[in-house]
Structure 1
């Protein structure tokens, strides 16, 4: 388990079909249950199909690790979620409903905190509304803690790899003042959708071709705009992306390709859980490479090429985040995608 004061977090994704009872919680300091819904009246609710798993999440993961803290992550990247959150944040009365119901739901089910997964606010107006939401949410959890004499609920949020999106900037001062930390989703810099004509490293620590598209630049930019390193938790992807090579003999980074490949039937968008990457390597006797310039892993077999994070790249990021930058920690998306907990045990 990570040392005191370091966040080593992991997400459980309700759609992953991974049992909560199988989570090796001793490897984590914080576990996030993803994702709670926001209904048309802006009440935070559990997904109907997974209601029991959310209700028993904290109790279940604390069987193995009584000290692990749990947080309820709200929102996510499903279609329509961002517009619902934008509508909620746009009016004070809507924010009040959202905030009150989130606190009530968290307390009723023994969560230690809340996480906003708004992917992503992208206009100046939405960023201003996000600022109001964060201020009001923090005030509400402070008041609730005083009234109940319970420890204040933690408040966190997932954010884009850059503080700037579509010419809008996150409310960095409000983030620093009101959140305990943010999860910087420093991955998906390249995917088969964004780079259909050539392979590319999905989440490199460094990038000599485009210095702005890498973990290092992402973290440096967030610090530059005023968010302290101890408020930053870097996202670690327990998944990769698959491309179709034009020519099997050209198989390095930025090799000619033509879109996504589906590996072992695991994905329709080209993303591949780490456990499936390892199966692909074994089944296809794929060649594996750790590129020491970009600090990223990839493998290939025939015309299939995968970019992903394996032990070498995860260790590089953990070392970078903790020893070089002094970040608060790191978080994995998602624990059910790991291969026999090999990535979770790093750091």
Structure 2
């Protein structure tokens, strides 16, 4: 069953953000006036029952999330996000493998969303990684849409929004997403166009979230084009980008461009670093900053420490790109402790986002 758009009347842009339960940032401090949609992350999957659950430590914040963010912006829509990068992929693969377990997942997700006032649901399964899992992912989305439509018809309520976080490309290491089913079942997809390079999987420096890359197909534009060419409508694509970067230790302080040899991570165990820390590093170390227009990415270095990230010029260019490609919107991923600082620093970006996307 194909899905029509369940966006608010007259709305043609999604300006969204994730709030992560591991964050130190209070839900009440979110300036929801900046957004059309906010994601509450993450609900969990019980591997025994195949039902969606909320950890007891998160229950109070999750159950009041919608009413809290709507105090500042009554029109903001909220989605309960399920899964995440730290979730057990095997549990999702098992759940999606049988009609009965899919039904348990679907029914419980709808029940939770309605009980706690969410306007939609977001699946973050990273990632279906076999042909069978991709087929089951499609079956899950298709049945989810049918169940959401039926629930809305039976209750007289507006249908819940359905979204999913997906790989940056429609092709996951030679495996194709069931794009037509995805397009028919979801209101939009959140394309995770970041984490291309990082110390945990790259022994050279690289742009963590490049828009382009003359030397590789691993970039946001390549992925977006693949999704569109595979049949995903551009107006159902939301471009994800990071408010964080990655830090490496250079093998040679004098070799400090992209794709320079490294000896591992810097600053943190995995190299991840929030925008606030990046700005502090630049100031405290007199770091050299570079904006690369070829890849559309930023980096800085001081001594043997090298950090790749997105700064103002890069994000503004990505917003213009989203507008040019006719995408539905943008979605940043926040780090755990810098939510307020990141929103403050990117205030000009968010303003530009509104100006460009609403023209």
Pick the TM interval, shorter chain.
over 0.9
Give the counterpart of 2:85 among 77, 80, 86. Answer: 77
Matches within 5 A, 1:264-279: 267-279=268-280
Aligned to 1:36: 43
Question: 1:193 offset after TM fit, Å?
Answer: 2.4
Q: Deviations over 1:307-333 (max 9, x none)?
A: 0011111001110011x1000011010
2:249 is the counterpart of 1:244: yes
Given that 1:123 and 1:166 are in contact with CA atoms closer than 8 Å, whether structure 2 keeps it comes out as: no
Secondary structure, counterpart of 2:213 in structure 1: coil
> Cα distance, 1:43 vs. partner?
1.1
Match of 1:202 among 208, 212, 226: 208
SS across alignment from 2:40: strand
Aligned to 2:5: none
Q: Unpaired segments of 5 or more residues in structure 1?
A: none
Give yes or no for contact 2:211–2:297 (8 Å, CA) kept in 1. yes
C-alpha distance in 1 between matches for 2:290 and 2:114: 46
Using the TM superposition, give the Cα deviation of residue 340 of structure 1 relative to its aligned residue in structure 2, in angstroms: 4.5
User: Is the contact between residue 243 and residue 342 of structure 2 (CA under 8 Å) also seen in structure 1?
Assistant: no
Scaled by the length of structure 1, what TM-score is found? 0.94
CA change 1:112–1:329 in 2 (3 A) is same
Query: 1:50 corresponds to which residue?
Result: 58
**What is the distance in 2 between the residues matched to 1:166 and 1:257?**
25
| Mapped partners of 2:212, 2:85: distance in 1 | 26
Alignment match, 1:232: 237
The Cα of 1:108 is off from its aligned counterpart by 0.6
1:90 aligns with 2:90: no
User: Distance between the aligned counterparts of 1:78 and 1:137, measured in 2?
Assistant: 23
Q: CA offset at residue 234 of structure 1?
A: 0.6
Q: Which runs of 5+ in 2 are unaligned?
A: 1-9, 354-359
The residue that corresponds to 1:342 in the other structure is 345
Give me the whole-angstrom Cα distance separating, in 1, the residues matched to 2:83 and 2:161: 17
Report the CA distance between 1:30 and its aligned residue. 0.5
The answer to whether structure 1 residue 298 and structure 2 residue 299 are counterparts is: yes
Cα distance in 2 for partners of 1:123, 1:154 equals 27
Structure 1 CA distance for aligned equivalents of residues 205 and 147 of structure 2: 47
Find the aligned partners of 2:43 and 2:87 in 1 and give their Cα distance: 14
Aligned with residue 254 of structure 1, among 255, 259, 279: 259
* Structure-to-structure mapping, 1:158-237, within 5 angstroms: 158-196=165-203, 198-210=204-216, 212-237=217-242
Query: How far is 1:114 from its partner?
Result: 0.2
- Inter-partner Cα distance in structure 1 for 2:97 and 2:163: 20
Using the alignment, how far apart are the partners of 1:246 and 1:184 within structure 2? 33
Asked if structure 2 preserves the Cα contact closer than 8 Å seen for 1:158 and 1:182, the reply is yes
On the 8 A contact 1:278/1:339 being kept in 2, the answer is no
Give the drift of 1:339: 2.5
Query: 1:59 maps to which residue?
Result: 67
Could you tell me which residue of structure 1 aligns to residue 4 of structure 2?
Answer: none
How many aligned residue pairs are there? 337
The answer to which of 270-279 and 59-68 deviates more is 270-279
Is the 2:171–2:226 contact (alpha carbons within 8 Å) kept by the matching residues of 1?
A: no
Aligned match of 2:356:
none
CA distance in 2 between counterparts of 1:281 and 1:126 reads 44
Alpha-carbon distance in structure 2 between the residues aligned to 1:55 and 1:277: 34
> What is the Cα deviation at residue 79 of structure 1?
4.8
Deviations 1:237-257 (Å, cap 9, x if unpaired)?
Answer: 111011101222222212222
Instruction: Assess if the C-alpha contact under 8 Å between 1:201 and 1:296 holds in 2.
Output: yes
In the TM superposition, structure 1's runs of 4+ consecutive aligned residues that sit over 6 Å from their partners are none
CA offset digits 1:243-276 (Å, max 9, x no partner): 10122222221222211112xxxx4211111122
Q: Is the 8 A contact 1:123 1:167 kept in 2?
A: no
Structure 2 Cα separation of the partners of residues 95 and 343 of structure 1 = 39
The separation in 2 between residues aligned to 1:15 and 1:329, in whole angstroms, is 25
Indicate if the aligned counterparts of 1:244 and 1:305 stay in contact, CA closer than 8 A. Answer: yes
In the alignment, which residue of structure 2 is the partner of 1:113? 120
